[in-house]
Structure 1
């Protein structure tokens, strides 16, 4: 374990890949590894990139990686792809799109399936980003699955959230109503060489005047064309400006505190769920469920009995309950 953690911190690509696989598959030693890596996180610039399908997110990420490498920055990419509800598989196509960087030792690309998790990200994305952060990458780019207008989980993983729009992508007002627009720190009008790009930019600016007129940070609207490598410098300047704002205003500390609070609650909830799943197999609680099925106990009393018993004896799970969920 110590050797693997040390290799990750040294930037060993095979060790980084193995660590992320442990995270994705729920390896028994996953938590022990993450505990060793956590003190070495917090340095990387985390940028989330989201938007509707067809907005050109993957192409934009591909070109942005090249732009950052030309500046001498090391880059890791976590690209999340949808998992089929029928086969359970995922077409991890972003690694195919980014073949130009496959042999670059300063770039690490990992595709992850959502595995049924909503919100545009895999459940393991946060931990994977921490592994890459601990590995010493300067920038970690997180690309969401892009299944609609509800991928807001990225704001809890990234320091800066980029929302990608395109000409012909629908009414901007409707997009603002959908929720994803409210999480943007930067707007990108991609495919800006197409007709209508300036109109989309003007619509976003008008909506920002309406909904964010008194906000301390006004999201800039940047036009890019991934196919022509246009606007990448302006996009990265906007990311850099937002990071400076986070540091100077104290908003970055507030966001990190909120992220840690959510992480602790999520980890605690996951562990409680695991404990509850084990508890339900114990004879006292199995009998309690039979009473619920027979109508002798209502589900609310049974749930209270289960939680109370787990809290009283979290390890041994020896409490027994009568027909109304009272200890006997």
Structure 2
């Protein structure tokens, strides 16, 4: 489809146009940038970020949360940020496979994005994709990160509510505390609670939370035991997500979240520009100069980004 048709079909809420627009945004195509500029700031979706170590059951839990959202008549989108192949840059699409039972529901849209080496567990195009999904009229958007451990705190800068998924007998409480994820989670889910060690993990979380700094507006992060495979505890967890969103609205914190999301997007663009410049011929020469001690990293970075600023 040409640009005029794409814009018209997107405005008419055509899912195929949305899919095409997301592809253009992820590729950095000018049409995608124009579409974003025309529609940014529209919509008011509730954005929930799910983070946690690989194998914690984030995808299965997301599947259950989609179900709860649909019970309430919500139009739902999911951005599943998959690990990238280091060779092709493509996503594995494993998360989409786990949510296949919703693929025939016209009110559910699931999209996988390749992380492409993003350190925070998020693809560089995640925030831009969020803006398009909001403009498309989704009521709730779930963003599931790759689960890369200590660098995954970026999700808190993108989502309104950050859900940390942990499992028993995996040392998750200690690791989460060390990684700083404990401090950014708004809601905790202890998944696979039917396994031994669930109660102990909840006690460890409560102890760790006592050492965490106070949250905005005095929010106290709740902890929910769940078994995503059976749906046990998921309804209560969903109500906890709703309670946190109500807290943000009540204390006027949503606007602050949206500003931080925009800041994260700008920083991601700068990071991507820098990464591309280092791989160009001129950038490689500057890297060589740093390795030889002829330039400091700061001097090389300023030279790399100077053409962009101009």
Which deviates more from structure 2 when the two are superposed, residues 208-217 or residues 130-139?
208-217
Dislocated runs of 4+, deviation >6 Å: 271-279
Q: Please provide the CA RMSD for this pair.
A: 3.1
Could you tell me how far apart the structure 2 residues matched to 1:209 and 1:21 are?
Answer: 43
Could you tell me how far apart the structure 2 residues matched to 1:208 and 1:99 are?
Answer: 36
TM-score by length of 2: 0.86
Q: Report the counterpart of residue 318 of structure 1 in structure 2.
A: none
Displacement of 1:11 in angstroms is 2.5
Displacement of 1:275 in angstroms is 9.0
Larger Rg: 1
Could you tell me how far apart the structure 2 residues matched to 1:6 and 1:308 are?
Answer: 36
Match of 1:254 among 229, 253, 256: 256
Q: Report the counterpart of residue 219 of structure 2 in structure 1.
A: 217
- Does residue 299 in structure 1 map to residue 295 in structure 2? yes
User: Structure 1's 217 and 31: CA in aligned 2 closer, same or farther, altered over 3 A?
Assistant: same
The alignment partner of 1:192 has SS state of coil
Could you tell me how far apart the structure 1 residues matched to 2:25 and 2:168 are?
Answer: 38
- Does residue 65 in structure 1 map to residue 66 in structure 2? yes
Greater relative CO (CA pairs within 8 A, separation 6+): 2
Could you tell me how far apart the structure 2 residues matched to 1:119 and 1:308 are?
Answer: 22
The alignment partner of 1:260 has SS state of helix
Could you tell me how far apart the structure 1 residues matched to 2:51 and 2:303 are?
Answer: 40
The alignment partner of 1:194 has SS state of coil
Gaps of 5+ in 1: 315-328
Could you tell me how far apart the structure 1 residues matched to 2:226 and 2:209 are?
Answer: 19
The alignment partner of 2:170 has SS state of coil
User: Structure 1's 229 and 309: CA in aligned 2 closer, same or farther, altered over 3 A?
Assistant: closer
Could you tell me how far apart the structure 2 residues matched to 1:85 and 1:308 are?
Answer: 25
Gaps of 5+ in 2: none
In the TM superposition, 1:221-300 aligns within 5 A as 221-267=223-269, 298-299=294-295
- Whether the 8 Å CA contact 1:20–1:128 is kept in 2: the answer is yes
